[in-house]
Every structure is written in C-alpha cells, then in structure tokens.
Amino acid sequence: MRMRSAIALATLLVGVGAAVSAPGADSPSAVEAQRRAAGQTIYRSGILATGGPVRATVQGDVPLSGDQAACITCHRRSGFGSSEGRAIVRPVTGDALYKPVTLGLVGTANLWRSEGEGTRPGYTDETLARALRTGRDSSGRELDPLMPRYDLDDENVAALIAYLKTLSAFSSPGVDGSTLHFATIIADGVDPRGRQGLLDVMNAFFRDKNAGTRNEAGRKARGPAEMKREYGAYRTWKLHVWELHGAPATWGSQLDDHYRRQPVFAVLGGIAPGSWQPIHDACERLQVPCLFPITDEPVDAEDEFYTVYFTRGLPLEAAALARHLERTAKGRQRRVLQAYREGHDLGASPALRKALEGNTALALHDHAFPTSGPITAADWTSLLQRERPDVLVAWLRSADLEGLGQSQQELAGVEHVVLSVSVLADGVGAVPPAVRAKALLTSPFERPDLLDGRLTRTRGWLRSRKVAPGDDRVQIGTFYVLALTVEAMMELRGYFSRDYFVERIEHMVDGMLTSSMYPRLTLAPGARFASQGCFILRFDESEPAQLVTASDWIVP
C-alpha cells in the first residue's frame, strides 16, 4: 500500500524536468530554511512540524498516517521517482513540477494542450497546494485515486512545497564542468596483494574510461544540438586514493580531512581490515555513496542510505547454515558446537545462536579459544572429549585446524565439521585431510563449477589491460563496482545527484551484464546487502582438492 499510495504524486507530476541547475536567488533566510527543513520531514518521514503524523486518504476513503503517507516511499529520497511493474512514478523535483508537460513543438515554441493524457501546464504554488489537498492537477483534472489527498494546513503545505522546489536542485559535491571525482579507500593492515590488486584494476579502468571520455567530449563539441545534449553529461573521471593510517578510531577524522581537501561524488570499492564501521559512519555523515567495499565486517544498518555492500558477511552464512542443519536434522537430536577465536568471529557466533534459538532438536554450545596463540592438538582433543558434538562449526582459519586434524580418534565421532570459505580465504587447500573428509563449507560465492565461466569476460579484460593476477574477490569485486558505476552515471542523464545515483544503483544491480563473485545480486529500495544467500559446499570425494555443492542456494 505504501508504494501504491504515492504513485499519484507521479500522475500529478507527470513529466520529467530538465538538467539540474542552481536557482539564482541568494541564500534563503533562516525562516525559509526552517520551512524547508519542516518540508523535508514531511516528505521523508510523514511527520508534521508539530510532531504529529501527516494524514491523508487514498482510493477515496482509505486512511493513511505518518510514514504511510510519506512521499519518499515512492518518489524516493532524490525526488526523481521510481517504478513498480508498469506503474511509473514521475519526478517531484521543483524543476519537474513547475514546467509544463507538452505534446510537441510548434515552430520553436512549446505547445501545451489541455486534452490528452500526459499533458498539463506548469504548477504554481496555488495549483500544487490544490493538487496535494484535493487531487486535481494544474489543469484541474482529477488525479489517479492512488494519489493521496493530504490533510495539510497552510503552514505545512507551504513547507512541503518549499522543500520540493529545492529537492535535487543542485549538483552534488565532487562534480564540476569537466570532472567527476571519485575515491577509493585503503586502510593500514591490508594484505599487500589485495591492496595492489585493487589499485591495478582501478588505475586500468580509469585510464580506459577517460580515453573514451575524450572522444565523447569531442562529439559534444562538434555535433549538433541533439548530440551536445546526449554527451553533455560526460566528464573525465579522477581517482583519489584515500589512505587511512593508525587506529580505526581516527579514521573518521582522516576521512573528513580527505573530503575537505577534495570532495568526491562517491567512494568506489575500497578495502580495510576489521570493521568497516568507521568508514561507514563517515560516509553516512558526509552523505557520500560508498559502493561495495571489500570487507569481512560490513555494518548491518538497513535504515541508513549511502553505503551498499555485497553481502552481510558471516552472520548471513551462519543463518544459512542454521537453515541447512534444520533441513537435514530430520527430527534427530544433534549436539552442535561452534568454536571461534574470542573477539574474532566476525558476528558469526551470535548469528548462529539467534538462528537456532528455540530449536530443541539442535542443541548449540559455544567455545571461544584465546584471541592469539596456537590451538594445539591437545586443545582440540580436550574440547571434543568434553563436548562430544555431532556437528562442529569452526569459524577459524586453516592454521587453527592443524591440531584438529591430528585429533583423529576424537574427530571420528563428529559427523560434520562446518567451515567458512570466507574465513579460510586462500587457505581452503590447507584444510587437513582428516578434517576435509568431514567438512561442509559455507560459501556466499558462485558454485565452484560455474565460477570460472562466469568470470571469463572480466578476467579477459584484466589480462588485456596487463593487470597481474591477484585476489579474485578483490579484483573481480572492484571491476564490478566500476562497471556498475559507468552504467549508473549514464542513467543519471546529467542530474548529478548522489541520492539519485544510489537509487539507480538499487535499480540496476540485478540487470548487470558484468558478473561478480556472487551468483545473485539484487537490491530492493532501501536494501543495503545485494547478496542474500549462500551455498553449502563439500570436498569432492573423487578429487579431494575440488569443492562441490552439498546444498542448493539457501536464503535464510
């Protein structure tokens, strides 16, 4: 209902605005600024200046209240609209509203006709207020019943109109007449191979992109008016590498300094050890999009807007594992033991506890090894003798499993040892043979038998640009976000709005021809994790070095 309820400010506001430009007036007065702030709250939250909920009716007599009536539900944060099936939600920016929608040209003059679907004169403050309250457009025609009729007094309707006039009215920082500025972020402690792989892909891609942009700029200068409009949005791309040093607690201020020296339109990819939280917080504060960083510790903040991740990380794998264990238990009582390094389970252990909460057939127990130091065969022998698990879940690296492989007598009573491809990283081949024979592995990546074919085109591009082979997760992920950004920037049509950019990313992810490491990427409006499931793998009995699937794709 929330999506459908706002489709009417689409019908009301049928038509697309021209390129974003700043108004010529001086800075607004404090009173006007307060009015626009109040209008923003109405638009985004459905809350009046008094703190009460916005009230409206839809479909003639269906009441809406609060966030149900918020314009952002359909017209999105940018105001540029959206679509649902065949329903097109049109822009509600001031530039779109206050210009007429025409059917064609007569000579050099726009001709507006009062008859015919999709035509209307430009709105005025008075006709827009009437449309919001009574559902009649600028020509006096009745709007679609899905358009809410708002119960707004003069003060609140003026506030909403004031906000709509400035909605996406300016290009976001990081853009000038010739250049689009982007950043990538690299923090201390990153594996040198991953760091170099990211930079190699970034530099090669930016060189390619700018070589093409020079041709586009020439077409813009030489071509007729139509071509100038088509190529007018093209800019040279400039990459800024934001290096972060020292304690993560200082990263926020370092990012502020980087941004102060040169604002960027968006952060593309990036890599950091540990939690992405300080970077996430800085990007949200600066309102800079941050797309698909390489991180094992993303921030689960679906209510925030600017940072988009490939996957939820180990909590997603833990939830998918719980689903698999439930499906395969078949009513049997099973004792599950999860082992991890204290403070280094990347959110996996609480996620598994939560997912199995209330399941009486799967009794879960935890064991936290010390943060540092070796985990010996004696440690594993003692633990297995004490706990006697049917299933051992080890959120650990290969080096921590060496002692487990030596505890063969105790391991004999364990049905499955569950590991994570994400935690093992390049250490999958180092899993001890005794563990490998019983192993199940959670993996958010494409099936092993399909992955090479999936990545053929991207790897071909890397080879042709003489990018040295490196960490697939880093290089493939970096190429993906760059290719996605190219497509999204083209769809902005010269409206250099960060909010609109993020919304286009949401819309485009599941239709990208460029492949990623993940089999299925999709983003619903407001969702911030593009991959929603994982496979359970096992080692192939006939070829123990190979991984094969032990389950279908699991979406917990």
Domain ranges, ordered by start, for the chain: 2-166, 179-313+452-525, 315-443+536-549
Pairing of strands 391-395, 334-341: parallel
- Adjacency order of strands within the sheet including 529-531: 236-244, 179-187, 266-268, 290-291, 307-311, 529-531
Could you tell me where the beta strands, DSSP code E, fall in 348-504?
A: 362-369, 391-395, 416-420, 439-443
Bigger pLDDT: 101 vs 366? 366
Q: What is the DSSP letter of 294?
A: B
Percent of the chain exceeding pLDDT 90 equals: 74
pLDDT at 332: 86
Which amino acid is located at 408 in the chain?
Q
The SS3 of residue 501 is: helix
Across 129-146, average pLDDT: 90
Return the CATH number of 315-443+536-549, one of 3.40.50.2300, 3.40.109.10, 1.10.3720.10, 3.40.50.880.
Answer: 3.40.50.2300
- Asked if residue 115 lies in contact with residue 89, where contact means CB atoms within 8 angstroms, the answer is no
- Least confident residue range of 86-95, 110-119, 242-251, 524-533: 110-119
Which pLDDT value is given to residue 303? 82
Residue 4 is predicted with a pLDDT of: 39
Question: 490: buried, middle or exposed (CB in 10 Å: 19+, 13-18, 0-12)?
Answer: exposed
Tens of pLDDT, residue by residue over 380-424, are 999 999 999 999 999 999 999 999 999 999 999 999 999 999 999
Q: What is the pLDDT of residue 106?
A: 38
Give the HSE-up count for residue 46: Cα atoms under 13 Å, Cβ half-sphere: 21
Is the pLDDT reported for residue 123 higher than 80? yes
Please determine whether the domains at 179-313+452-525 and 315-443+536-549 fall in the same fold group of CATH.
yes
Lowest mean pLDDT among 209-218, 285-294, 511-520: 209-218
pLDDT at 545: 81
pLDDT of residue 11: 41
Residue 6, pLDDT > 50, answer: no
Residues 6+ apart with CB under 8 A from 513: none
Please name which of 142, 115, 125, 101 lies closest in space to residue 39, comparing C-alpha atoms. Answer: 125
Confidence bin at 218 (pLDDT 50/70/90): low
Q: What is the rounded average pLDDT of the residues 12-21?
A: 37
CB 388 within 8 A of CB 335: yes
pLDDT at 223 over 70: no
Of the listed ranges 52-66, 74-88, 344-358, the least confidently predicted one is: 74-88
Q: What are phi and psi of 540, to 5 degrees?
A: -65, 125
Contacts of 208 (CB under 8 A, 6+ apart): 465
CA angle 83–56–92, rounded 5-degree value: 40
Closest CA to 298 of 262, 259, 351: 351
Residues 35, 162 contacting (CB under 8 angstroms): yes
Residues 6 or more apart whose CB falls under 8 angstroms from that of 71 comprise 6, 9, 42, 43, 44, 92, 160
pLDDT at 116 over 90: no
- How large is the angle between the packed helices 154-166 and 125-134, nearest 10 degrees? 120
* Residue 166 near residue 94, CB atoms below 8 Å: yes
- C-alpha–C-alpha distance, residues 33 and 165, integer Å: 12
Q: What is the mean pLDDT of the chain?
A: 88
Question: Do β-strands 266-268 and 179-187 pair in parallel, antiparallel, or remain unpaired?
Answer: parallel
* Beta carbons within 10 angstroms of residue 371's beta carbon: 9
Could you tell me the two tokens for 369?
């090894």
498-519 pLDDT per residue, tens = 999 999 999 999 999 999 999 9
Higher pLDDT, 499 or 18: 499
Instruction: Flag whether the pTM goes above 0.85.
Output: yes
Could you please state the CATH topology (level 3) that the domain comprising 179-313+452-525 is classified under.
Answer: Rossmann fold (3.40.50)
Among residues 389, 428, 425, 427, the alpha carbon closest in space to that of 407 is found at: 389
Q: Which helix (H) or strand (E) holds 311?
A: strand 307-311
Residue with the larger pLDDT of the pair 16 and 248: 248
β-pair partners for 536:
442
pLDDT tens digits along 142-179: 888 888 999 999 999 999 999 999 999 999 999 999 99
Contact present, 224 and 201 (Cβ < 8 Å): no
- pLDDT bracket for residue 61 (50, 70, 90): confident
Categorize the per-residue pLDDT at 54 as very low, low, confident or very high, splitting at 50, 70 and 90: very high
pLDDT score, position 372: 94
**Contact in structure between 399 and 427 (CB atoms under 8 Å):** yes
Q: For residue 336, is pLDDT > 70?
A: yes
Report whether pLDDT(117) > 70.
no
CA distance 66 to 47: 6
pLDDT (0 to 100) of residue 10: 40
* pLDDT value of residue 19: 35
Going by the DSSP 8-state scheme, the letter that residue 252 receives in this structure is H
Euclidean distance between CA atoms 374 and 397, whole angstroms: 11
Distance set, CA 550 to CA 72, 324, 440, 521, 537 (Å): 43, 10, 8, 21, 5
Q: What tens digit of pLDDT does each residue of 364-374 get? A: 999 999 999 99
pLDDT at residue 1 is higher than 60: no
Question: How confident is residue 527, by pLDDT bands cut at 50, 70 and 90?
Answer: very high
- pLDDT value at residue 221: 56
Q: How confident is the model at residue 48 (pLDDT cuts 50, 70, 90)?
A: very high
**What does the alpha-carbon distance between residue 323 and residue 554 come to, in Å, rounded to a whole number?**
8
Classify residue 521 by its DSSP letter.
Answer: -
Q: What is the DSSP letter of 142?
A: B
Inter-residue contact 333 to 300 (CB < 8 Å): no
Q: Which residues, 6 or more positions from 96, have their beta carbon under 8 angstroms from its beta carbon?
A: 13, 15, 16, 17, 90
How far apart are the C-alpha atoms of 516 and 445, rounded to whole Å? 9
- Please report the pLDDT score of residue 222 as a whole number: 53
Selected residue with higher pLDDT from 249 and 143? 249
Q: Compute the distance between CA of residue 169 and CA of residue 277 in angstroms, rounded to an integer.
A: 31
Compute how many other C-beta atoms are within 10 angstroms of the C-beta atom of residue 19.
13
- Longest CA span, the chain: 90
Identify the DSSP state of 116: S
- In this predicted structure, the answer to whether residue 88 has a pLDDT above a threshold of 90 is no
pLDDT of residue 228: 43
* pLDDT at residue number 110: 39
- Compute the average pLDDT of residues 328-352: 93
Indicate if the pLDDT at residue 122 is higher than 70.
yes
- Lowest mean pLDDT of 34-38, 313-317, 539-543, name the range: 539-543
Cα 432 to Cα 443: distance, rounded to the nearest angstrom: 19
